[in-house]
Structure 1
Amino acid sequence: MKYKLVMDIEINSVEDLKKLRTIVEANNLDKPNFSEIARNLGIDRRTAKKYYLGDDKKERKKKKSVIDKYYTIIEELLSENSTQVFYYKDHLFRYLQREHGLNCTRNNFNYYILNHEEFAKYFRPKGNSNAIKSEKPFGEQAQFDWKEKINFTFKNGEKIIINVGSLILSASRFKVWTIYPSVSLDCVLDFLANSFEIIGGVPKEILIDNATTMMLKARTESNEGIVNPKFQQFADDYGFKVVPCIAGRPNTKSKVENPMRVIDEIIAYNGTLNNLEELHEKLEQITNEANSRICQGTGVPPILVYKKEKEHLSPLPQEKICSFYKISTIKATVNLNALFHYKKKMYSVPSEFIGKKVTIQVIENNLHAYYNKKLIAVHEIVENKKIIYNEHHHLDMLKQTFKKHEDIEDYAKKHLKELEKFNEQLSEFM
């Protein structure tokens, strides 16, 4: 077999160097003069050799991300040992913004999570339900629902079950979210009465589900259902129409159902908060952020559209009617020991409210203390104690009293034990 060997080759570009190497190796020739080739092509000798050897792919250095410094924090938050729960990447993103000063776009954060398999597998895709998109005029409708039975754990290990009432104006998507211990009708009426005050008026209709607290008989495709007479009276007094959704059609309340996942953000604080007051404050922050973010449905933050929708709401009824539907409240003055009186017992509030009048609301077996409609303390109603001090209120009070005292926390624990003994002694006479 005879082969016609090509002994000459023109080198016009660096790409031709790969062909040159093939010929040189096939014919067992000496390596070319890279310096001469480099001069002819006007390139560096090392560049010529690199292309000859086929090592022309640029090694790109992995670009560092501003999120890299949060890697350990994210790893801890998403670990199996963490008590905190993040149902969506958005929840984790906003938590890191609030609590750790993360400064990046949401798209970059999502990209970072998805490109780290150890983080991406934590989140599961959510199925999308089909629904016909419909809109209501300003002031026409609000949608009400509960986010029920949320398990929450405080920093000290105490576990509670909370429910979050949700009222959303259909046109502006403005949201009101509040924590309640139960979903009883009394809590429903209290939540709606207070929510109407917050939004400054009453929508023409309220879309509800078929919960037995509001509906004696569920609405179906074949019948209109029966509204609980007490809830219907509330609706008549406030001047709105009750519109139950058809049973089995959750998409009817999509404007209130879809944002429910934002309420789940509260679970991100599992094991990090001290008490119910802090939990209320954190939900208030989450609510304000949700009302300030651009809504995907309207393209505008709800707070901006709400200012226009508020003009179309019906006026509130007389104060006497409003107060009738709210959970019973009393007024109390905080004494110099940061305590207020309720049924011959004394309960604590933060020391900054000494001398001020607070509003006490009795919800089931708990006292909720408010100042200017802001929750400042929650106490369980007790029968066998005379003085009930919240541990944080007690420590705060002692710090105010003994400003230069060393080991004030140890002294506070000792003092609380003395109060417990005092309560035990008094209980014999109660």
Structure 2
Amino acid sequence: MERNIIGDLLILKQMNIKPNFSELARIYDMDRHTVAKYWREGGIKKVERKPRKSILDKYSDEITRLFEKPGVHKRAAYEYLLDRYGEDNIGTYNNFKYYTWKRDMKPQKTVKPHVRYETRPGQQLQVDWKENLRMTTIYGEVIEFNLMTSTLGYSREHIFVYTKGKTTEDFLRCIIDTLYRLGGTPEHILTDNMTAVVSITNGSKRKHQKIRAFEKDSGMKIRLCKTRSPQTKGKDESANRFISWLNAYDGEIENEEELIHLIEKINRRVNNTINQTTNMPPHVLFEKEKEYLRPLPNKVMLDSYVDNVITQIVPPTLLVTYNGSGYSVPTKFINKRVKLVPIENKLYVYFNTELVTVHQINKNKFNYKHDHYQEALHHTICNKDIDIDAIAEENLKLLERIGK
């Protein structure tokens, strides 16, 4: 019956004839107001649909909060939620994009043009600074730092290196760290006219003596970008987008050590994310490109360019020594060679390119981290009836008194 009257109304509307609502109501045994309503709505009965629920509904406020943070785009917000809650609770990135588009949820955006420049495998490593970054801990402490971002031109494999300074020594240390992580060297490095590499006098550019010496010793040229040239650092500058993923964690981290591990985690995830140009994750193409990289230069020569780096073998006490004070590392590094890198008032301990721990430099003789000491006791005391945590707490307090 309803379908018949709708059909009649559509025919009358096409013929531009106004119907007699009362007559139609009598014929179809309906209220004339209902017939008039069908007519006003074009002969189609409106169906009220309830909005479909989404798994993202319970995160709506959090998404809004993330989008309000400067520099957080959709991918950065998604990666943050994925890291915290997992894909089973968040869904795919396409689902996230549709959800935010449907609800007109938009992050603050900045658009920068990038010029493409393709390179052969193993030919070029593009390098840039991400400067003057700031992250706030959950305790309100502000951590100021820089990142060296490097990208292989062919595979788009990215390397992010945390650094406090931007001096020539910092530049070389970060480059050497990057080369160790890549396991080889490209034909050349491409960078801009950063003060760590060149000095400019009366418009004339000249590389620093230490940079020229490094080029000679490593056999690898460091080329400078030319203004308004297609040979730009576009691929590495696009890598800076991924650094914005950090913005979502502002106010969420506990300390600098957690920040550095977060950067390493994001670095791994970036290299396993499909690149829009190659349609493949960088790490997949890197498996091919690394075959074209040249062998690493002599290790002794490379390490000679890194100032203030101390190499030690970790003793059974877990304490490596710096300026007469001992600083602990985890048990698994006993008898392994680690590097101590003092920067400002912090001591960074590395095993190869892995950050092991960060200590505040002080004059205390013993500087054990609670988890390092507790782990060691678990390896030496096998009696489950003994409260190892209590013993660790008591011994650490005693060592603290002795070491002052």
TM-score range, shorter chain: 0.7 to 0.9
Match of 1:193 among 176, 185, 189: 176
Cα 1:334–1:155, aligned 2, differ >3 Å: closer, same or farther?
Answer: farther
Of 202-211 and 63-72, more deviation after overlay is shown by: 63-72
Cα 1:218–1:92, aligned 2, differ >3 Å: closer, same or farther?
Answer: farther
Q: Which runs of 5+ in 1 are unaligned?
A: 1-10, 38-46
Corresponding residue for residue 363 of structure 1: 342
Match of 2:7 among 4, 15, 20: 15
**1:189-338 correspondence to structure 2 within 5 Å:** 189-217=172-200, 225-246=205-226, 252-327=232-307, 328-336=309-317, 338=318
What is the deviation of 1:24?
Answer: 3.4
1:24 aligns with 2:20: yes
- 2:197 and 2:208 in contact (8 A); partners too: yes
1:174 aligns with 2:118: no
SS at match of 1:193: helix
In structure 2, distance between residues paired with 1:369 and 1:201: 23
Deviations 1:217-274 (A, max 9, x none): 2897xx6x21111111111211122211135879821111111121121232223223
Give TM-score, length-normalised by structure 2. 0.82
Letter in structure 2 aligned against 1:253: K
**1:49-198 correspondence to structure 2 within 5 Å:** 51=38, 56-78=45-67, 87-102=72-87, 103-117=90-104, 119-120=105-106, 123-129=107-113, 131-198=114-181
Cα 1:354–1:238, aligned 2, differ >3 Å: closer, same or farther?
Answer: closer
Deviations 1:351-380 (A, max 9, x none): x44744351322333321223542121123
Letter in structure 2 aligned against 1:70: Y
In structure 2, distance between residues paired with 1:291 and 1:324: 30
In structure 2, distance between residues paired with 1:250 and 1:380: 45
SS at match of 1:252: coil
Q: Which runs of 5+ in 2 are unaligned?
A: none
1:387 aligns with 2:370: no
What is the deviation of 1:12?
Answer: 6.2
- Output the aligned Cα RMSD: 3.6
SS at match of 1:31: helix
- 1:34 and 1:48 in contact (8 A); partners too: no
The percentage of counterpart residues that share the same residue type is: 29
What is the deviation of 1:170?
Answer: 0.9
**Based on CA coordinates, which of the two structures has the bigger radius of gyration?**
1
Deviations 1:290-336 (A, max 9, x none): 11112112222211222222222222222221221234222142444
In structure 2, distance between residues paired with 1:67 and 1:288: 25
In structure 2, distance between residues paired with 1:314 and 1:69: 51
- 1:199 and 1:310 in contact (8 A); partners too: yes
- 1:335 and 1:354 in contact (8 A); partners too: no
In structure 2, distance between residues paired with 1:77 and 1:87: 7
In structure 2, distance between residues paired with 1:71 and 1:291: 28
